[in-house]
Amino acid sequence: MSEKEIDVTTLGEILIDFTFAGKNSDGKKLFEENPGGAPANCAVAISRLGGKSAFVGMTGFDSFGEDLKSTLQEQGVDVSGMRKTQAQHTTLAFVSLDSKGERNFSFCRNPGADTQLSPSDLDENLLLKSRILHIGSLSLTDEPAKSATLKAIEIAKKSGAYISYDPNYRAALWGSRSDAIPLMKSILPFSDMVKVSDEELALLYGKEISAEAGAKEILSCGAKLVLVTLGSKGVYYATKTQSLESSGTLGVPDVKVVDTTGAGDSFTGGLLYRLTRRENPFSYTKAELEKDIAFANAVASLCVTKRGAIPALPCLSDVEKFISEHNM
């Protein structure tokens, strides 16, 4: 095996999403237990497609933590970097859906086991074996997870790995917007790929900013590839590498949206899977990159047609069939 035998290691929050699943005969809401957390979702998305992924994060000593670890193992994710803490319960999130399938979150994370990952918990060998380290910004909300995230980036960068970053904003988990914005931006100079939603882009750079202008700002920090997800309008991309400087927008096919939970994570996982099919993930032509992004769009399109994040993630044959049927 080569030194870099893991395609992508993801680091950050892992939690139970209690997803709204209808009402009982008395009209009370029912919630379905689904494993979640953006970096964990991303790791599973990659593994489901056939890539080699690992997850680094922390749960509590409870049944929810056991469920999460076993779910990732069953999906083929390397969990050797997972840790447990007695200090906090596994983090929980209650996800309500509106009529359009959009989510509202209520967190049981004060602070929650996922925030207790410390630098000393990191498996350095696992990071050294990884071609890409993918992180989100929610691991920056509390210590010691913030320090662990920065240490992991340092180890990965020194080993020649690339950094993928998803600036993820949940109002309930940050002290304030003024706390969140500088911390979320602080990771951009280390990042080779950044996937950001149009909402998070507006948070970082102001409501009036366009996808084009926002992507340009992020590229100026040193990123090679920026993806701005635009919901049902598709994805805007901008890339600046030694061999290619290009941008464009790719639409997505119409599907019946059931639940948008995990849509962005499945897109990121799909794209990282495709990028790691080549020796240098960031060496591509415009046509190759657009094919990779169309693939990631197909992964996300399939994900939103089912409830939950991890349970909704498609396998490679499902994605290939979808691409064929929709002439993507």
Q: How many CB atoms lie within 10 A of CB 99?
A: 5
Give residues with Cβ within 8 angstroms of 53, minimum separation 6: 6, 7, 8, 9, 10, 42, 43, 44, 46, 47, 76, 77, 78
What is the pLDDT confidence band of residue 1, given thresholds at 50, 70 and 90?
very low
C-beta separation of 325 from 277 below 8 A: no
- Residues 49-81 pLDDT 10s: 999 999 999 999 999 999 999 999 999 999 999
Cβ contact 117:56 at 8 Å: yes
For residue 308, give every residue at least 6 positions away whose Cβ sits within 8 Å of its Cβ, in sequence order, or none: 17, 19, 32, 34, 36, 259, 261, 262
- Contact criterion met (CB below 8 Å) for 267 and 39: no
Neighbours of 229 (CB within 10 A): 26
Between 9 and 2, the more confident residue is 9
For the entire predicted model, the pTM comes to 0.94
Separation CA 150–CA 148 (nearest Å)? 6
15 has pLDDT over 70: yes
Q: What DSSP string describes 128-162?
A: HTEEEEEEESGGGSSTTHHHHHHHHHHHHHHTT-E
Beta bridge partners, 193, equal 164, 225
**DSSP state for residue 60 in the 8-state scheme:** E
182 DSSP β-pair partners: none
Taking all residues of the chain, what is their mean pLDDT, rounded to a whole number? 94
When pLDDT is cut at 50, 70 and 90, the band that residue 295 belongs to is very high
Average pLDDT over residues 209-213: 97
First to last CA, the chain: 34
Per the model's pLDDT, the better-predicted residue between 274 and 98 turns out to be 274
User: Do 21 and 261 meet the contact criterion of CB atoms below 8 Å apart?
Assistant: no
Cis ω on the peptide bond leading into residue 119 (within 30° of 0)? no
The closest alpha carbon to 255, from 301, 298, 295, belongs to 301
Over residues 141-174, the pLDDT tens digits come to: 999 999 999 999 999 999 999 999 999 998 888 8
CB 256 within 8 A of CB 305: yes
- In sequence order, which ranges of 21-112 are alpha helices (DSSP H)? 38-49, 63-74
pLDDT over 80 (residue 100): no
Q: Tokens for 118? A: 């410390």
- Evaluate whether 40 touches 166 at the Cβ level (below 8 Å): no
Most confident of 100-114, 200-214, 300-314: 200-214
β-strands 15-23, 162-166: how paired?
A: unpaired
Cβ neighbours for 304, distance < 8 A, ≥ 6 positions apart: 101, 255, 257, 258, 259, 260, 263, 312
Question: Residue 270 has what pLDDT?
Answer: 98
Residue 256, Cβ density class (10 Å: 0-12 exposed, 13-18 middle, ≥19 buried):
exposed
